[in-house]
Amino acid sequence: MSLLEIRDLTMQFGGLTAVDRFNLTLNEGDIVGLIGPNGAGKTTVFNCLTGMYAPTGGEILLSGHRIDGLHPYEITRLGMARTFQNIRLFKQLTVYDNIRIAFHNQSKYNLATAVFRLPQFAKEEREILEKTEELLEIFGLYEHRNEIASSLPYGEQRQLEIARALATNPQILLLDEPAAGMNPQETEELTSLIRWVKERFDLTIFLIEHDMRLVMRLCERLVVLDYGITIAEGTPEEIQNNPQVIEAYLGEEAL
């Protein structure tokens, strides 16, 4: 059974069809890229997958269960995590707290346990702290742990956002333009980081990206959206040579 199955996903805003009958199947361990010109509906697909929008048509199945129409927090708990194109950290909270918040669904202790500091509370808080520190170590953010998130340099904010997404314990990680605003060297590092994280956390990755070097090197499969319609799907090589894709990106004259 495939991990994520998207069937005829459609999202309309009034008269505008942002995504039109989008289909995709992700198997465990896949790393698939979603590309397309600006305004093609890529982020809308992500918003539908994570429950921020309720799709107006189609079905989304995670491990065989319908998830379209569920609340975002329910979908997160079922194993879907994402990052944002424009970083959305809890800006005024510390790096520590940003990660710890994401462990929310994994803590079971109740208020009384916390107020009276019963052993279960201490144990769970210790586990959360350990897992948080492990993530911070992996992403090289440990030394910044007590800093306010918005005070971090840009690249580290991106890393913190990925670390935070991982803390929700996902099966599928959605990355929305992870390399946006990065220089070639940072993009290079990010590429290896994504690959490493995928192995380390057993992830399936679905990413939106404009940086073609990253996409071509990282993804096994690409889907191309244009005006909400899937115009091509295939390996990076196939996509690179697909006339429809070239047209969408460069306009008709380029052919």
* In the complex, least distance from residue 113 CB atom to another protein, rounded to whole angstroms: 9
Tell me the C-alpha distance between 62 and 53, whole Å.
Answer: 16
Nearer to another protein, 98 or 191 (CB): 98
Are 168 and 201 in contact, with CB atoms under 8 Å apart?
no
* In the complex, least distance from residue 51 CB atom to another protein, rounded to whole angstroms: 8
| Interface positions with another protein (CB under 8 A) | 50-52, 71-73, 76-77, 81-82, 84, 88-93, 97, 100-105, 107, 109, 111, 114-115, 121, 125, 128, 164, 168
Closest CA to 159 of 87, 101, 104, 250: 87
Q: Computed from CA positions of residues 53, 173, 20, 60, in that sequence, does the dihedral angle turn out positive or negative?
A: negative
Long-range contacts (CB closer than 8 Å, 24 or more residues apart) made by 124-129: 128/100, 128/103, 129/100
* In the complex, least distance from residue 61 CB atom to another protein, rounded to whole angstroms: 20
Tell me the C-alpha distance between 226 and 11, whole Å.
Answer: 14
Residues in the chain: 255
The DSSP 8-state label assigned to residue 205 in this structure reads: E
Nearer to another protein, 104 or 200 (CB): 104
Nearer to another protein, 60 or 224 (CB): 60
* In the complex, least distance from residue 53 CB atom to another protein, rounded to whole angstroms: 11
Q: Enumerate the H helices of the chain as residue ranges.
A: 42-49, 72-77, 95-102, 111-115, 119-138, 154-167, 184-200, 212-218, 236-240, 243-250
* In the complex, least distance from residue 252 CB atom to another protein, rounded to whole angstroms: 39
Nearer to another protein, 17 or 113 (CB): 113
Nearer to another protein, 44 or 50 (CB): 50
